[in-house]
Amino acid sequence: MAGTALTRDVRVSGHGTVETPGARVVQVQKSLMRHNDAVAVANRAAFANCLVLNLVSSPGSGKTALLERTVRDLAGELRMAVVVGDLETDNDAVRIHAAGAPSVQIVTGTVCHLEAEMVARAVDQLDLDGLDVLVIENVGNLVCPASWDLGEDVRVTLLSVTEGEDKPLKYPRIFKDSHAIVINKVDIAQVVGFDRAQALANVHRVTPAAQVFELSARTGEGMAPWRAFLRERLATKRG
C-alpha cells in the first residue's frame, strides 16, 4: 500500500492560483510562530538543568490542585517552583505558595494562553539554578495553548472525569502534542458515571504514545506513578 497518493492541500479562499497581472512572486516560507518559537528556544537553553512541564487543561480540571499535592508530596526531595497563568487574580499562585513552593503569577488579562515571552519574564523572578522541577500552569483552555511552545520538556494535558469521555476527540491537537495525560478526580468517577474504558480508548486513538495517569489530586489516590514519572524524566534530562 506504500506510496498511495494523498491530496495534501485544499485551497479555501482567495482567487485560487490566478496571479495579479504584472506581479512577481516572492518566496517567504516562514512560520507565523517565528517570534514565539525563537523565545522558546532561548527558554529551553535557560532551563538546561531543571525539568520543565507545561500543564494544560480546561478551566477547573484540577491543575492547581494537582500541583499543590505534588509540591507537598515531594517536599524535601525535589525543589519545585510554579509559574501560573490566569486571566485574572493571583489565587492560584497563593495556593501554590501555601503548599510550600515559590510561585509566580502571570495575569494575562484577555490573552487565552501563555506565550514564551511571558514565561521568560516570569522566570526572571526565580532562581532556576536552585530548582529541580519547574511547572508552568497554563491558562485553562484546550485550544490556544496548543500552538505556543514555552520551552518546556514535557507537555501534560489534564482531563477530569466530570468533563466527558470525548474531550480528546474534541481537542485532538493538544492531546496529540502531549507526552502525558492525567485523568483527575477519579474519586468521583463513579458518582458522575465516568466511562473509564471509553475515555482511555479515546485518549489512545488520538495520542497513542502518551503516558496516562489516573489519579485524584483530592484523595492522593494514584499519585505514586505520577511522582515516579517526574523523577524519571528529571533523571533522563540530567543524564
Partner 1 sequence: MHEFGLAVSMVDLAVEAARKEGAERIEAIHVEIGALAGVVPEALEFAFGGAREGTMAAHARLEVTYLPAIAYCATCQSEFELDNRFGIAVCPRCDTPSADLRQGREMHVSHLEVT
Ligand X SMILES: Nc1nc2c(ncn2[C@@H]2O[C@H](COP(=O)(O)OP(=O)(O)OP(=O)(O)O)[C@@H](O)[C@H]2O)c(=O)[nH]1
Task: Enumerate binding residues for Mg ion (CB under 5 A).
Answer: 63-64, 92
Which residues within the stretch 148-207 sit at the binding site for partner 1 (CB under 8 A)? 169-170, 172-173, 175-177, 204-207
Which C-beta is closer to Mg ion: that of 202 or that of 216? 216
Residue of this chain nearest to ligand X (CB atom)? 140
- Diameter over CA atoms, the chain: 70
Cell, residue 148: 505556543
E strand spans, 58-214: 80-86, 103-107, 133-137, 154-160, 180-184, 211-214
Smallest gap from Cβ 63 to Mg ion, in A, equals 5
Residue 117 in the binding site for ligand X (CB under 6 A)? no
45 touches partner 1 by CB under 8 A: no
| DSSP 8-state class, residue 128 | G
The size of the interface with partner 1 (CB under 8 A), counted in residues, is 52
Q: CA-to-CA distance for 66 and 80, rounded, in angstroms?
A: 13
In 3D space, the residue among 73, 91, 65 whose CA is nearest the CA of residue 218 turns out to be 65
* 3-class DSSP assignment, residue 49: coil
**Residues 52-81 within binding reach of ligand X (CB under 6 A):** 57, 59-65
The edge-to-edge listing of strands for the beta sheet with 103-107 is 103-107, 80-86, 133-137, 51-57, 154-160, 180-184, 211-214
Residue 216 gets the label, from left (phi > 0), alpha (psi -120 to 50) or beta, of: beta
3-class DSSP assignment, residue 202: helix
Minimum distance from residue 178 beta carbon to partner 1 (Å): 10
Instruction: Tell me, residue by residue from 136 to 175, as one string, x for binding to ligand X by CB under 6 A and - for no binding.
Output: ----x-----------------------------------
Residue 31's binding partner among partner 1, ligand X, Mg ion, none (Cβ under 5 to 8 angstroms by kind) is partner 1
Report the interface residues with ligand X, using CB under 6 A: 57, 59-65, 86, 92, 140, 184-185, 187-188, 216-218
Report the interface residues with partner 1, using CB under 8 A: 1-4, 6-16, 19-20, 22-35, 111-113, 143-144, 146-147, 169-170, 172-173, 175-177, 204-210
